Amino acid sequence: MAAKKERWVHKVQTVSTFPPAGLFTRDAETIAKVMARKKVSPKGPGSGLRMIQFFINRAGKNLSPERKKELEKAKQILQEKLRKQRK
């Protein structure tokens, strides 16, 4: 009998950077706009990018292809914003 795998990722929570409930079910532009706010991502768009990627990784196989595509689009919007800030 195989041992039950412990999953640490479901226990991860942050107090300072907590996206609003239901945010990741919205459209890409809204997700990117909210994740770029200082209240949600105090360290800037890079922090928002990491939170979106964390959500994608955490959802795993349960994430529909359409939802994953929308989240990837939100990441691209934030990456472009990050590039503009660095210039």
pLDDT band at 69 (very low <50, low <70, confident <90, very high): very high
| Mean pLDDT score, 75-86 | 91
Stated pTM of the model: 0.77
Cβ count near 38 (within 10 Å):
9
Q: Quick check: 27 and 69 in contact, CB under 8 A? A: no
Q: What is the pLDDT of residues 20-59, one digit of tens each?
A: 889 999 999 999 999 988 888 888 888 889 989 989 998 8
CA 77 to chain centre: 12
pLDDT of residue 85: 84
